[in-house]
Each structure stands twice: as structure tokens, then as C-alpha cells.
Amino acid sequence: MKVLVATEKPFSKVAVDQIREIVEKGGHELATLEKYTDVQQLYAAVADADALIVRSDKVTKEVIAAAPKLKIVVRAGAGYDNLDLAACTERGIVAMNTPGQNSNAVAELAIGMMIYISRNQFTPGTGSELKGKTLGIQAYGNVGRLVAAHAKSFGMKIMAFDPFVPAERIQSEGVEVAASLEDLYAKSDFVSLHIPATNETKNSIGYALLSKMPKGGCLVNTARKEVINEPELVKVLEERQDLKYITDIAATNQAELNEKFGKRVFATPKKMGAETAEANINAGVAAANQICDFFATGNRKFQVNK
């Protein structure tokens, strides 16, 4: 089988070398398309691919149509909103992600962002500490859970809201379960977002929730920009001079946010949550292993288009 790694933002060389080793050991052939600048290059590259590994690259219905032999596509990462799942399902293509492989990288960044914004973006002046503050984790998945664990060592009080994780499991890790999403926002000095971007969550974080935050509250977004209602974010930051917003995914209106709110907002220049050497290797290797296992045994454990 031909396995194509198509990455507009490439994996590290070490990661590609390890992917190649796994793929070839599995009896398959590896092809790479890196740093492509035109989607036509992707259409051409997938023409004879049986399996596809991508990072944030969009796998649209046009990409699927250009790949008549494709049987499996794996998003090396957690969020898979870049895959057109309906188009995959229609063609009988298995779509997977690699959950948990980059979680620590993202969790460490979330903690770093909280410190950065609390210390006035490392500019002179009196900042504040994380110790004693309440952190609200919105979605207690792989990343949320690690942020909670790391934040505990800073002496933060942790609450979480995730309707899909049993309350007992959250509590057993020393984390309080918020009575509702509103309750989480009302009690948290920091809210850290770890929800996936779905039809349900897109645009869901806006004025109603953010205006409930205590004085000096800060929203930390290492999830997706699509979950934020951006016009409402502007409105609440205008009304509440004490609130802050720090994100790993620049808002569509980030220039406006920067101009209007100065040091109360910050966006990383490019999404970098999973950009560590370790996460890079973990996610790529997991994708290669999942593909080989799928071809060898039919294992669909991480399928997301069931």
C-alpha cells in the first residue's frame, strides 16, 4: 500500500524518519508531500495513495474525490475538524485521529499562557500569581485533564465541566465538578478551553458566559477559534475593562482585539500548542502505527467517522 504524508506544515525530519521506518516495516511504501503551496499539488499527490497522514491540512470532498484508492486518512493530532467526515464515510474511507499524543505539549502551553498574561506579557509592572486562583477546565479530555494536573502543583483550585465524563472520575482526580457551564465561568479566575470545534460548540463562548467571570477573569484558548463568538468577545472586553483573553489560535479579528485591548489580549503568531519535537514525533508515529495496524488487522480503534 502507498502511504502519503501530506503536510503543508511538515513534521520534523526525525518524525518522518520514524514514520518511514514503521510504514516500510509494515510492508508499505511511504511518499511525502511537504510545504505544498497549492491544493492542486495535494490533489495530484493523493491520486495513487491508499492511506493519508495529515496534520492541520484540510481533507475536503475535493481531496477525497482526487484519491480513488484511499482507504484510510489519519489526522496526526487531536482535533479532526479539518477532515470532511461525511465525504470519507460516503466513500467508505476510515477517518482517525491520534488522541492524547500531543496533549502534554498543549497543556504545558496553556499553563505558560496563564503565567504570561498574569505577568503583563513579561513587561515591567506588578503581576499576579496562579497560586490560590481558581481554574475552570471546560472539557475534561486528554488536554484538560493534564492542565488540571499541572495547575494543581501551582496551588490552583481546579473545577471542570464536561457533560460526557462521569463526575466521579473527575472528582477522583481531586477536581471539583461545576454544577453547570455558567457555574464554571462564574467561579473561575481562569477558564481554559478544551472543547472540540463541533456544530454544538462553534460560536458557543460569548457574552453570556464571559460576562459571568469574576473580576480580573481570563479566558485561555488552546482549543479552536471557531468556538468563540468573536463579536461578543469584543463586546464583553469593551464593557469589562478587567477581563483578559489569551489564545493559541488568533481570532479572525485579532488585529482589532490587539488595537482595542492592548496587553489584555494576546495571540501566538501561529498555532503552536502541539509544536514540540516530542508531540510531533508522538502524533506522526501513532498515525503510522494506526495505519499499519488497520491494514494488517482491520483495527479501527481510533476511527472518528463511525
- Give residues 76-105 in contact with ligand NAD (rule: CB under 6 A): 77-79, 99, 102-103
Choose, by CB under 6 A, the member of 195, 205, 234, 243 that binds ligand NAD. 195
Distance of CA 292 to the CA centre of its chain: 25
- Told to check if 75 binds ligand NAD by CB under 6 A, we report no
Residues 11-50: x where in contact with ligand NAD by CB under 6 A, - otherwise, as a string: ----------------------------------------
Give the full edge-to-edge strand order of the sheet including 176-177. 176-177, 157-161, 134-138, 190-193, 218-221, 244-247, 265-267
CA–CA separation, 52 and 199 (whole Å): 25
Rounded to the nearest whole angstrom, what is the least distance from the CB of residue 18 to ligand NAD in the complex? 20
Q: For the stretch 69-84, what's the b/e string if a residue is b when 16 or more beta carbons lie within 10 angstroms of its beta carbon?
A: ebbbbbbbbbbbeebb
Give the DSSP per-residue string, 205-247.
Answer: BSHHHHTTSPTT-EEEE-S-GGGB-HHHHHHHHHH-TT-EEEE
Which amino acid is located at 183 in the chain?
Answer: D
Nearer to ligand NAD, 143 or 210 (CB): 143
Residues in the chain: 306
Nearer to ligand NAD, 28 or 55 (CB): 55
The interface region with ligand NAD, picked from 46-54, 66-74, 117-125, 217-225 by CB under 6 A, is: 217-225
Rounded to the nearest whole angstrom, what is the least distance from the CB of residue 101 to ligand NAD in the complex? 9
Nearest partner of 133 among 194, 210, 214, 66, judged by Cα: 214
Choose, by CB under 6 A, the member of 164, 199, 269, 298 that binds ligand NAD. 164
Torsional sign, CA 78, 10, 15, 192: negative
- Told to check if 57 binds ligand NAD by CB under 6 A, we report no
Give the DSSP per-residue string, 134-170.
Answer: EEEEES-SHHHHHHHHHHHTTT-EEEEE-TTS-HHHH
The interface region with ligand NAD, picked from 83-91, 134-142, 184-192, 231-239 by CB under 6 A, is: 134-142
Angle between helices 103-118 and 277-297 (to 10 degrees): 150
Choose, by CB under 6 A, the member of 82, 120, 142, 276 that binds ligand NAD. 142
Rounded to the nearest whole angstrom, what is the least distance from the CB of residue 197 to ligand NAD in the complex? 6
- Told to check if 188 binds ligand NAD by CB under 6 A, we report no
The interface region with ligand NAD, picked from 19-27, 30-38, 266-274, 295-303 by CB under 6 A, is: 266-274
Rounded to the nearest whole angstrom, what is the least distance from the CB of residue 179 to ligand NAD in the complex? 14
CA–CA separation, 105 and 151 (whole Å): 14
CA–CA separation, 262 and 109 (whole Å): 21
Nearer to ligand NAD, 212 or 271 (CB): 271
* Residues lying near ligand NAD in the complex (CB under 6 A): 77-79, 99, 102-103, 106, 138-144, 162-165, 194-197, 200-201, 222-224, 248, 271, 273-274
